[in-house]
Amino acid sequence: MRWAWAEIDLEAIAHNVDVVRRAVAPSAVWAVVKADAYGHGAVRVARVALAAGAEGLCVALVQEGVELRKAGISAPILLLSEQPPDQADEVVAYDLQPTVSSFEGVSACAAAARAGTQATPLRVHLKLDTGMHRAGADPVLAFGIVEAITAQESLQLASVFTHLAMADQPAAPANAEQIRRFDAALRSIAGIGTATPQIHIANSAAALALPGARRDFVRLGIAMYGIEPGPDIADLCRDLRPALSLHARVSATRHVAADEGVSYGLRHTFERDTVVATVPIGYADGVPRRLFGNGGEVLIHGVRRRIVGVITMDQLMVDCGDLPVSVGDEVVLIGGQIGTAGRDAIPAEEWAARLGTIGYEIVCGISKRITRRPANS
C-alpha cells in the first residue's frame, strides 16, 4: 500500500443526505455525483446516497452515467447539460435522462429514442438560462422547445430547471431575479402537453439558504460531501460531516541546520536547527504547489506543522521542529487527528481559504493516484 491515501466516510455521506432531505422536505433530493462524486468515488457514493433517501442522481457527462449503469445502479440519472448529438444513441442505450436546451438537441434525442428499443418515451429535461449565461436555453425559447418536445411521441418532458449564479450569496438580488425570470418562463409553457413536468432550481447552497428555490426536488452536490458551498452558508452547514480525509506517512526524516534551505530553489531557509519530515505526496496527487507559500500545514501526532519549501510532484517537506517524528508516522493533510492536546482538524475549506478558491476545487483536485478507501477500513 502506498504511503498516501484518502479515506471516504460513507456514514457521513448518508448522514448529510438525511440532514438535507429533512431540511428541504417535502422537496425530494437528487444526489450530484459528477466528477467521480467530487473525488469521493461515484459508484460508492451513489449507492449510499440512494439508500439514504435520494430519489435520483445527477452527472455531467454521458460516460459518468454509463459508469453508474455498468455498476448495476438503476435509479434515474440526469445529465445536467445538453450533450453532443452523436452521444444521443448511447444516452438512450443506457437509459440516461438528457438535458436539452436547443431545437437541435430535441431532434437528436427524438431520433435516438425512435431508433432505440425502450418501451416508453425518453424522459428529457429542459434547462433554461435565467442569468448565469453558461448553459441552457434563453427563456424566450421555452415555449417553442417545449412544443417541439411534446410533438415527439418518442419524448416526454420530465422537468424544467435552471441554475442560480449566486446561490452561495443568499442575499444577492440576482437570486430573486433569476427565480422571477424562471417562474415567468414556466407560466409561458403552462398547459402545453398532457404531463406536468417536475421543477427544480436549487443546488446545495440554494437548498439550504433559499426556501423559495426548493421546488419538486433539489440537486444536492457539495453539501452531500460535508463541505460548505460558501462562507455565507457556513452556519447552515453546522450539522454536516466532512466525508473525505487525506493521509500519508512520513517517508524520511533529516536534521537540517539553521540557514540551510530545502526543496527546489532552496526557497525556504531555517532560522534554527530543525527536523524536516519528507511526506510522499505532491502536486501530482492534488496538493497544490502554491500551498507551501500560503501557510499550508499538516497534522503529525495531532500537532500542526508547516509545509516548507516548494511542494514537488511526488513529495513535500514539513518543518517538525523539536516534535518527535519517525518514518511511518501518520500525516493528515485534510481531516482530523488526535494528539496529546486533543483533536485538531484541517478542513478542505482551510486549504481553499489559503489559496483563494473553493472547497469544490480542493476535493475534485485529488488525483486518481490517491487510493480511496472506506474510513475505518
Which residues are known to be catalytic?
Answer: 34, 264
Residues 307 and 221: their CA atoms lie apart, in Å, by 31
Residues 203, 208, 212, CA angle at the centre, nearest 5°? Answer: 80
For residues 144 and 23, give the distance between their C-alpha atoms in angstroms, rounded to a whole number: 36
Q: Which cell goes with 20?
A: 438535507
Tell me, what DSSP letter sits at residue 275?
E
Query: Which three-class secondary structure state does DSSP give residue 280?
Result: coil
Q: What cell was used for 90?
A: 448511447
Q: Classify the phi-psi angles of 127: left when phi > 0, otherwise alpha if psi is within -120 to 50, otherwise beta.
A: beta
List CB contacts of 74: < 8 A, sequence separation 6 or more. none
Distance of CA 113 to the CA centre of its chain: 30
Rounded distance, CA 121 to CA 51, Å? 27
Give the C-alpha separation, 122 to 129, whole Å. 23
Cβ proximity of 79 and 100 under 8 Å: no
DSSP 3-71: SEEEEE-HHHHHHHHHHHHHHHTTSEEEEE-HHHHHHT-HHHHHHHHHHTT--EEEESSHHHHHHHHHT
Asked if 6 and 373 touch (Cβ cutoff 8 Å), the reply is: yes
Which SS3 state, helix, strand or coil, does residue 186 take?
Answer: helix
Q: How far apart are the first and last CA of the chain?
A: 13
Q: How many CB atoms lie within 10 A of CB 330?
A: 13
